[in-house]
Structure 1
């Protein structure tokens, strides 16, 4: 498994020296528009803050709508899995391990038709081979729009 060439995850030694905002800037890519060629960039996901137990990002509704004009549930779930996977990576040695989503569910409780959503992912469980994240999406008024859970599997590089 090969990570994106522009992905600049810190080494475990460097992690503590970076602020949550500096980590987020690394994930937003060299141009600040996401990592080129990734789904996150295509969806317009922009990281705001990153820490080992909490990741925050935004995603625009524009360009991510379903035919009925509301934010597409699939885009919402992609945002949830992206945050859980990236958050899991922050708990691993990026030279030896990577995390991938293996289970994802979400409940959409409020439609959003404009603006952006902000997602906050919180680590609920950290084991040797699995991590479970709870992700809440909110609209620009701070109202909950979706509640998700994502389980990530830890994979050794080269496996």
Structure 2
């Protein structure tokens, strides 16, 4: 079922990247809401967001790798939606890989996804996650399939 809070194709085309980001932050009933993901920029070729470490830790006290992966896929999915008519198509993650290069124990992480490939039925996104000092903490790549509703 289409989330009723998801912007329409017209809104994707007319809202600023910041206004789109505000509309897509913490969509009710989504994993992004549960993880505290807040979008800061949404465009067809780039999506940025922040996520708190608090509430997303592993038992050892560091940011959970699964939270990083969920953040990466959330950005790739939203970026893919920005390239579609969401009333006719949906984008779903079908492949994701990530390398966690540095642990994070507090604050929040900043993520930026860039569209690496846009095809008719496939989009590939490269995602970098950084700590508050700008240090790289995770590199990910996510592939989304485009499916007609």
Q: TM-score range with shorter-chain normalisation?
A: over 0.9
| Partner residue in 2 for 1:123 | 115
Q: Does residue 25 in structure 1 map to residue 22 in structure 2? A: yes
When normalised by structure 2's length, the TM-score is 0.97
Q: Is the 8 A contact 2:27 2:33 kept in 1?
A: yes
What's the CA shift for 1:37? 1.5
Q: Secondary structure at the match of 1:147?
A: strand
Q: Distance in 1 between matches of 2:11 and 2:109?
A: 30
What's the CA shift for 1:6? 2.0
Runs of 4+ aligned structure 1 residues displaced above 3 Å come to 13-16
What's the CA shift for 1:15? 3.4
Deviations 1:63-99 (A, max 9, x none): 0000000000000000000000110000011110010
Paired residues for 1:1-159 under 5 Å: 2-7=1-6, 9-11=7-9, 13-28=10-25, 34-157=26-149
Q: Distance in 2 between matches of 1:143 and 1:116?
A: 12
What's the CA shift for 1:100? 0.4
Q: Is the 8 A contact 2:8 2:87 kept in 1?
A: no
Deviations 1:31-85 (A, max 9, x none): xxx1121110000000000000000000000000000000000000000000001
RMSD of equivalent CA atoms: 0.9
Q: Distance in 1 between matches of 2:52 and 2:124?
A: 25
Q: Distance in 2 between matches of 1:76 and 1:57?
A: 12
Instruction: Structure 1: state its 5+ residue gaps.
Output: 29-33
Deviations 1:76-128 (A, max 9, x none): 00000000011000001111001000000000000000000000000000001
| Partner residue in 2 for 1:31 | none
Q: Distance in 1 between matches of 2:120 and 2:4?
A: 26
Instruction: Structure 2: state its 5+ residue gaps.
Output: none
